[in-house]
Amino acid sequence: MLADAVILALIIGFLRGGRLKTLGDFTLKGAWIAGLALALRMGLTFLGLRGNPVILAYGGLFQILSYLLLLGVVWANRRTPWMNLIGAGILLNFLVIVTNGGHMPVSLEGLRIVGLEEWAQSLETGSYVTHVAMNAETRIPLLADRIPVPSPYPHPRLISLGDLGLAAGIFLLIQGILIRPVRRDSEHQDQTGEALFRRKLKSDQ
């Protein structure tokens, strides 16, 4: 869903007259750490489905680590517009994951509603290390992956409240970056020259 939020934000941003230059000028502190955290999560899924014994044993701890890295990046960029909403979404997911042994609980009934029966079977066998099937012992079930997004959505899935906040924050952040006015170098030079001229006049007086 996060990739969909990025694509939608880019499309709408360009339709609103956004400029690619402003996106290139944006700097995210600790971007490489965020990339490492996302790569770690993808690696957990890939290796877990292939039965890697280390990942099966410690996958929950690695996932908690990945979320701590993401929260650190959010804190480093806390003054960036909409980063608070992104951080809130990550934090909600982190809370339900850490209280359930490092795994995101998923509603099996919800998976069947959106037509993802195969994923439900993987959760029941325990081969999906980043997620776990919801049951009576699940803690904070309200924050679990239980909100169905069925067809005609191109990628039917279950999402959490944290996912909603995270996707909304990313969408709004990209919109703000794309629509941000670009200060041309010539305009900047003109303004600088005008300011120096005014200062010279004041000093002469």
Q: What is the pLDDT of residue 187?
A: 45
Query: What does the radius of gyration of the chain's CA atoms come to, in whole angstroms?
Result: 22
DSSP class per residue in 169-199: HHHHHHHHHHHSPPPPHHHHHHHHHHHHHHH
Low-confidence ranges of the chain (pLDDT < 50): 185-190, 197, 200
What are all long-range contacts of 2-11, with beta carbons under 8 Å and residues at least 24 apart?
2/163, 2/166, 2/167, 2/170, 4/154, 4/155, 4/167, 5/167, 5/168, 5/170, 5/171, 6/170, 6/171, 6/174, 8/171, 9/170, 9/171, 9/172, 9/173, 9/174, 9/175, 9/178, 10/174, 10/178
Query: pTM for the full model?
Result: 0.84
Q: What is the pLDDT of residue 123?
A: 85
pLDDT tens string 72-120: 999 999 999 999 999 999 999 999 999 999 999 999 999 999 998 888 8
% the chain with pLDDT above 70: 88
Q: What is the pLDDT of residue 22?
A: 84
Q: How far apart are CA 91 and CA 198, in angstroms?
A: 50
Q: Where are the domains of the chain?
A: 2-204
Fill in the DSSP letter of residue 53: H
Contact assessment for residue 6 and residue 174, using Cβ atoms and an 8 Å cutoff: yes
Q: What is the enclosing helix (H) or strand (E) of 149?
A: strand 147-149
